[in-house]
Amino acid sequence: MQVEPEPTASTEPATEPKTPRKPAVTPSDRGAGKRLTAPKRTPKVPFSTQIEIGTARRLDWLVRERRYKLTDITGDALDELFDKLGVPTADDLA
């Protein structure tokens, strides 16, 4: 899966600034449980896995078309899964 790096000020063209599209994921979007949250500024740890090609394509589309970050998609998806399975929160496990 290829995720293009986010543009920086030095790589942006000298034309009009691009305004990212507002994410439009709602609970009615193919069973999405909740709207993806805004970028989180919390400490993170490395997490790596392999996924099926079809899943990678869907992730690429979401990152490209809706301008979400892969880490936020992954975090939100795991949080929703943990909630459905009744896994205690991180604060409860501390």
pLDDT for res 42: 81
**Closest to 61 (Cα-Cα) out of 3, 8, 18:** 3
Provide the 10 A C-beta neighbour count for residue 68: 19
pLDDT for res 31: 53
The model's pTM is 0.55
Q: What are the structural domain ranges in the chain?
A: 53-87
pLDDT for res 14: 47
pLDDT tens-place values along the chain, 94 residues long = 555 554 444 444 444 445 445 444 444 555 555 566 666 678 889 999 999 999 999 999 999 999 999 999 999 999 999 999 999 999 999 8
User: Which residues, including other chains, have CB under 8 Å from residue 24's CB and lie 6 or more apart?
Assistant: 66
pLDDT for res 12: 44
The separation between CA 17 and the C-alpha centre of its own chain, rounded to angstroms, equals 23
